[in-house]
Amino acid sequence: MSALPPPTCELDQWALAEAARRQRAGEAVTAMLVGTGAEEQALRLAKLGVRVLLLSDRDPGHAGIVQRPVADFDDMASELPLQPFDLILCQRVLSSLRYAEARVRVRSLLERLRIGGKLFVSCYGIHSELGDHYADGEKLVCDRHAPVSPELAARYGITGPVCLYSERNLFMLLMECGGAILKTSSSALGHVRGVAARI
C-alpha cells in the first residue's frame, strides 16, 4: 500500500495529535470514525496503533480496523465494537440532519466515549459558499434544512437537504448536548469544526 498523504483537514490533524498524546501516556487508544475522509483517517490512526471502528461503505483493507456499514450510524442505540471510545471523529454527517436530530445524535456520540474522551465534529458552514442562495439562510439553525444549489451539491457530493452551521451554532449544539467544549473554529472556506470532551 502506498504511503498516505498527510491530512489536510485541521480536524483530522487534531484527532491524530490527541491519539499520539494518549499513546505517549501509555494508553491503549480506541476510535470511531464516520463521514468525509473517514477511510484515510482510519488508516492513519490504525498505523499509529489505534484500534479503530470505521463506519463506512468502503473497505480500507487494514487489519487494525473494524469495519461496519455506515448504516449502523443510524442505529445509535446498539452497542458497537471497541466501545467506549477515546476518540470519535464525525465529519460533516450532522449537516444532513435537522438540528433537533443532530442534538440526539451528538448526545449519543458523547455517551459512547469514555469519561475524558473527545468528540471531533465538523459541519458545513452557513458562511461558506454553500450558504450562497441557501433557502434557509435567514432562518434560525433549529429551522434550517434545505437543499444547496445543484452545482454545489454535485461538487460536495451532497444528496439531500442540509442544515448549515455558524461556529456559534456548533458551539451551542455541543454545549446543549452536555459536552465540555475545548475549541471551535472556522476553516478558510467557512466550514465549522469543534472538539468537546465527555465529562
Within the chain, strands assigned E span: 30-35, 51-55, 65-68, 85-91, 113-123, 180-186, 192-197
Strand pairing category for 192-197 and 65-68: unpaired
Query: All domains of the chain, ordered by start, with CATH?
Result: 10-123+164-197 (3.40.50.150)
Per residue of the chain (199 residues), give pLDDT as tens. 457 777 878 999 999 999 999 999 998 999 999 988 899 999 999 999 999 999 887 777 777 788 888 766 766 667 888 999 999 999 999 999 999 999 999 999 999 999 999 999 999 999 999 999 999 999 999 999 999 999 999 999 999 999 999 999 999 999 999 999 999 999 999 999 999 999 9
pTM of the model: 0.92
